[in-house]
Amino acid sequence: MGKKGLIPIAFLLLLLFPFFLPRFYVYLSSLILIHGLLATSLNFVLGFGGMYQFHHCVFYGVGGYTTALLLTKTSLSPFLAFLAAPFASAILSILMGVICVRLSKLYFGMLQISLGSLVWAIVYRWYSFTGGDDGIHGIPIPHLLASTNSAYYFTLVITALSMFAMYRMLVSPFGKTLQGIRDNPVRCEMIGVNVKLHQLLALIIAGFFAGVAGMLFVIVDTTVFPEMLFWTLSLEVLIMCLVGGWFTFFGPLLGAAILIILRTIISTYTVYWALVLGVIMTLIIFFLPNGILGYIEEKLKRG
């Protein structure tokens, strides 16, 4: 059975999770899906676009805060608040992308960290609007999505649709051109490809789906906090891409599952999760530079 045949089977298994898993593990599965979507949106520009997006979680946080603020401070329909989140993240991605896309590689990443940290600082200090370092808690969620199981199913469907949309984009002429720019931007520019425009569009798409992930987190956790926009979470999501396989489509989702499950298990025994994460990252870099799924795909091709 090919990879495409395994996808519907995996989706059916995910649909059955709430029937035989305790409530906590259903919640944990929702977090894996959300972080898998977030990591995949990062990999859209990192692994497939070759852009060093080091502060991707700022778009995740903006999506979450947009939903939270509209739900707590306005009388708009909750579903309008859900729709507004990815568009707010996409707008921020346009603003940051127009500035950052002028640079390349490490300089691109460092400038993005600076701009993202500025957004984080505003959220962290604006107590009267964002709640400051306390965040926003007890966000009212529509009754239809208020239970753990309903939030999980909503997250599963939206994540699946978002992943499918990103996959279709990557196999389209736009996606193939983006990968060509990753491999050789100079040659692409010489044959008439507008490199900066393609990179900017990729950044907007990645920011949009990061905003979707932020919106889903609000539904599942009913809270937002400034750490959602902090650079350390961006680093953790970057590690998810590297662990799973940053040149594969489903690698980031696998990496998210591995890291979240390991963090949940290890955190019950020690507070030094960051130390364990550093060891994992070191082993991956030395022994599996293309990530776990990348290693598996390489072995299958040789076999």
Tell me the CA end-to-end span of the chain in Å, nearest whole number: 15
**Residues ≥6 apart with Cβ < 8 Å to 127:** 134
CA dist., res. 37 & res. 263, Å (int):
18
Per-residue pLDDT tens listing for the chain (303 residues): 556 678 888 889 999 999 999 999 999 999 999 999 999 999 999 999 999 999 999 999 999 999 999 999 999 899 999 999 999 999 999 999 999 998 888 899 999 999 999 999 999 999 999 999 999 999 999 999 999 999 999 999 999 999 999 999 999 999 999 999 999 999 999 999 999 999 999 999 999 999 999 999 999 999 999 999 999 999 999 999 999 999 999 999 999 999 999 999 998 888 888 888 888 888 888 888 889 999 998 888 776
Helical spans, DSSP H, in the chain: 3-20, 23-45, 57-73, 78-100, 105-125, 127-130, 148-171, 173-183, 185-190, 195-221, 231-244, 251-266, 273-287, 291-302
pTM, rounded to two decimals: 0.96
CA dist., res. 87 & res. 122, Å (int):
19
